[in-house]
Structure 1
Amino acid sequence: MEDHKSHDSVRRSYDTVADTYAVTFRDELAGKPLDRALLTCLLEQTEPGTPIADLGCGPGHVAAWLAEHGAGTVGIDLSPAMVAVGRREHPAAEFREGDLLALPAMDGEFGSAVAFYSVIHLDPSELRPAFEEVRRTLRPRGLLLLAFHIGSEVRHLDEWWGHKVDVDFRFFEPSFVAGVLEEVGFAVEMRMERTHHAGEVETRRAYLLARRP
């Protein structure tokens, strides 16, 4: 797997907070009916018998939810500590360490993919190669479900839950992300926005559903 030095600080930061992150977000989907509905939509449109990739899976709670609902699921994350937590807590899913710009997966391996708040750690110039990688690993007609924060700002954290970190969170305009998806050949089939839920960081969030031709 190619090593992307610019992502080292993100990797180290998530390694540092992995255990706290896992406890904080373990039951996140229980309070997010819209997310569950969108994941169900993805499940229903995934070619039977093909695995779903959870890209930037963190401690694996989304991958685990998909596995609990009948999907073969492969969680991929930059952070070795996050991958270790996923393997320990969610044995029904498979987990791999990997970068969004060099996914550890075969061409056409996945029937669909989900990426909830993982592209927010990419530079805008990295979206295209990341989406090209997703396209490479998806089967024809495979779907990608994205979620990200809306805007143009960059929020930096040097402290997170009492831990020292060095990580940027990039916000994107939905039209920009959709445009990059279309440039690499995806057809964007759904765009949706919502405000934050109680207890979430106060941002607007976008969801895009895109299909590989």
Structure 2
Amino acid sequence: MSDAPSSVPEPGSAADVVRTWDARADHYLRMFRHEWDGKPFDLDVLNAFAGRVAEGGRVYDVGCGPCGHVTELLAAHGLDALGIDLSPRCVTLARQERPARRFAVMDQRDIAGERLDGLVSYYSLHDQPKGQLAAALTSWAAALRPGGQLLIVAKEGTGDGVVDDPLGSDLRVYWAEFTEYELRTAAGDAAFRVDDCTVREAYDDEIPTRRIYLSATRHRG
């Protein structure tokens, strides 16, 4: 028997995110290319976020995925939007879908010092262990200027581990869910003022889990 180390990366690691999302990016694009057609609440929340950021403001769509539709929406509001994702395949597809918009392969957990005016995390937290939530929020706070706007959208729950892919691929993937208390606490500890936190029920064609929408402002000073 070989003693060579396994080539499978640690679940929830950056390498694992790349592995799983490179493999299912095309599947996700087919499922969610027209996501806004059936999500009026999400559209309202994202439009409101864009309205809180001054025109021309620098914003990151972290974990943009292969569709690029959040980046597109933000840019359509006159924002200087960049979609970032760890998965090269996601970024390639997003560039094909939205050739007029900007995308880059970057780690959302390593963007401190960017001096952004806004940051959107639209379901980008589910691929990493819940124990990394505080570090992610701290990195985002360090990337936002004082007064900068944050929007987090996450699925509600207590799950934290490897599961069969809820999106329907044949993969086993890391899957973390969050409570409103966890998101509020992490944001507050990371120098954010929570302005609003709303929970909605799943639409009929969604994974049957409630969604959390947290809006916050980076503290001044």
Using structure 1 for the length normalisation, give the TM-score.
Answer: 0.90
Give the 3 Å change call, closer, same or farther, for CA 187–14 of structure 1 in structure 2: same
2:62/2:120 contact within 8 Å kept: yes
1:9/1:166 contact within 8 Å kept: no
Q: 2:85 aligns with which of 72, 77, 82?
A: 77
**1:49 counterpart residue number:** 56
User: What is the CA RMSD across the aligned residues, in angstroms?
Assistant: 1.9
Taking the aligned partners of 1:72 and 1:92, their CA distance within structure 2 comes to 12
1:75/1:95 contact within 8 Å kept: yes
Which amino acid in the other structure matches residue 174 of structure 2? D
The 5 A counterparts of 1:29-48 are 29-48=36-55
Structure 1 segments of 4+ aligned residues over 4 angstroms from their partners: 158-161
**2:211 counterpart residue number:** 205
Taking the aligned partners of 2:155 and 2:178, their CA distance within structure 1 comes to 6
After alignment, is 190-199 or 41-50 more displaced? 41-50
Q: 2:193 aligns with which of 167, 170, 187?
A: 187
How much does 1:138 deviate? 1.2
How much does 1:51 deviate? 2.0
Which amino acid in the other structure matches residue 58 of structure 1? G
**For 1:98-137, what per-residue CA distance to the aligned partner results, in whole angstroms no more than 9, with x for missing partners?**
222213x7431x2111111111122122111111111121
**For 1:32-91, what per-residue CA distance to the aligned partner results, in whole angstroms no more than 9, with x for missing partners?**
111111111111110332122101110111111222332221001111100111111112
How much does 1:14 deviate? 0.8
The 5 A counterparts of 1:38-117 are 38-59=45-66, 60-103=68-111, 106-108=113-115, 110-117=116-123
**2:137 counterpart residue number:** 131
Using structure 2 for the length normalisation, give the TM-score.
Answer: 0.87
Taking the aligned partners of 1:183 and 1:156, their CA distance within structure 2 comes to 29
**Structure 2 alignment gaps of length 5 or more:** 1-8
Taking the aligned partners of 1:45 and 1:53, their CA distance within structure 2 comes to 14
Structure having the higher Rg: 2
**Structure 1 alignment gaps of length 5 or more:** none
Q: Identity, % of aligned pairs?
A: 33
